[in-house]
Homo-oligomer: A and B are copies of this chain.
Amino acid sequence: MSSSVQLLGISNAIVDILAHVDEEFLDRIGAPRGSMTLIDEKRAREIYAMMGPATEMSGGSVANTIAGFANMGGSAAYIGNVRDDQLGEIFNHDMRSLGVDVRLAPAGEGSPTARCHVLIDQDGQRTMQTYLGACTELGLADITETTIGQPQITLLEGYVWDIPEGPQLLAEAMRIAQAGGSKIALSLSDSYCVQRHREEFMAAVRSSVDIVCADEDEMTELFQVESFEQVLPLLDGFDNLFAMTRSEKGSVIVHGDETFVQAAEPVKKVIDSTGAGDAYTAAFLFGLANDKPLDECARLGTWVATQVIQQVGARIEKGILDNY
């Protein structure tokens, strides 16, 4: 049955528009360095008009994870809403060309396909201004037994809680997926997203989520503590699997009584740190889906993320595991 993929992702389907900017640009638009801000269409036009020449490529956090998972050889499916416009065609093409089963047809009406203006400063840090467009029109009606199928793991994106029907459609997705035997994974997206939806995230983690994928900032935000060290004892009461990344400090996996600390790999030069977390998630879940022990999943996650930050672009390239 074609819907029995290893990994199904549900997320905001976004095309990135990348351009280099100077610090002064970020001041002018009032964007904190490294932040992700949601903007409306009018503001998106203003920002774009201020930007220099750009490059376009498919993006989105969980979408990057799904693409990476497929590129590693995993079977994957995807639910996200694009319009039937050229950017939507680009997004779906890039998914399908990796063998990802795109479960929704592009919308024939409504807002245009989402775009994220990725502003890269002199230090290579990225500040994002996201116009969600068609993503906001992903709805409860898109979540059915047919579109969900029976994936081994269903990966939800924290950002989907930002869209109007997000909370309901995610609840329905978890219900259908679990009824079909799927594990539920949740990516916490970013610490501001956690701030916006802390209660909902915590409720989901306590009730339905099996696997939490997060970085240390998202975890401290979720538990409202100062440091990652304070997070660890608080995980005692949870039976979820936590896969937590800490940049150059490596990653920590906690599952009940088990804790694995995975050191980071030496990096010659960070070319582009974008997508490191998404790549880690892709590889970690790839390990899980292939019944690898947790420490091996963590090692694979670290190895793949380390490759991704030494290349330009957020997505895992084909054949990456040939060198593993």
Taking CB atoms, residues of chain B closer than 8 Å to A165 are: none
Whole-angstrom distance between the alpha carbons of A96 and B50 in the complex?
10
Is A241 in contact with chain B by the CB < 8 A criterion?
no
Is A231 in contact with chain B by the CB < 8 A criterion?
no
Taking CB atoms, residues of chain B closer than 8 Å to A53 are: 57-58, 67, 93-94, 97-98, 315
A residues near B, CB below 8 A?
48-49, 51-58, 67, 85-87, 90, 93-94, 96-98, 112-113, 312-313, 315, 318
- What is the copy number of this chain in the assembly? 2
What is the minimal beta-carbon distance from A96 to any residue of chain B, in angstroms? 8
Contact across chains for B54 and A55 when beta carbons are under 8 A apart: no
Contact across chains for B86 and A51 when beta carbons are under 8 A apart: no
Whole-angstrom distance between the alpha carbons of A56 and B49 in the complex?
18
Central interface residue in A67, A93, A98, by most chain B CB within 10 Å: A93
Contact across chains for A86 and B112 when beta carbons are under 8 A apart: yes
Contact across chains for B98 and A52 when beta carbons are under 8 A apart: yes
Whole-angstrom distance between the alpha carbons of A94 and B51 in the complex?
9
Taking CB atoms, residues of chain B closer than 8 Å to A113 are: 86
Contact across chains for A97 and B52 when beta carbons are under 8 A apart: yes
**Contacts known (A86-B86, A86-B112); A55 close to B52, Cβ less than 8 A:** no
What is the minimal beta-carbon distance from A61 to any residue of chain B, in angstroms? 16
Whole-angstrom distance between the alpha carbons of A243 and B93 in the complex?
41
What is the minimal beta-carbon distance from A80 to any residue of chain B, in angstroms? 15
Contact across chains for B55 and A57 when beta carbons are under 8 A apart: yes
Whole-angstrom distance between the alpha carbons of A56 and B57 in the complex?
6
Taking CB atoms, residues of chain B closer than 8 Å to A315 are: 53
Taking CB atoms, residues of chain B closer than 8 Å to A112 are: 86
- Shortest 3 CB-CB distances between A and B: which pairs? A56-B56, A53-B94, A86-B86
What is the minimal beta-carbon distance from A1 to any residue of chain B, in angstroms? 24
Contact across chains for A90 and B54 when beta carbons are under 8 A apart: yes
Taking CB atoms, residues of chain B closer than 8 Å to A93 are: 48-49, 51, 53-54
Taking CB atoms, residues of chain B closer than 8 Å to A56 are: 55-57, 90
Taking CB atoms, residues of chain B closer than 8 Å to A313 are: 55
Whole-angstrom distance between the alpha carbons of A312 and B311 in the complex?
13
Whole-angstrom distance between the alpha carbons of A86 and B111 in the complex?
13
Taking CB atoms, residues of chain B closer than 8 Å to A96 are: 49
Whole-angstrom distance between the alpha carbons of A53 and B317 in the complex?
10
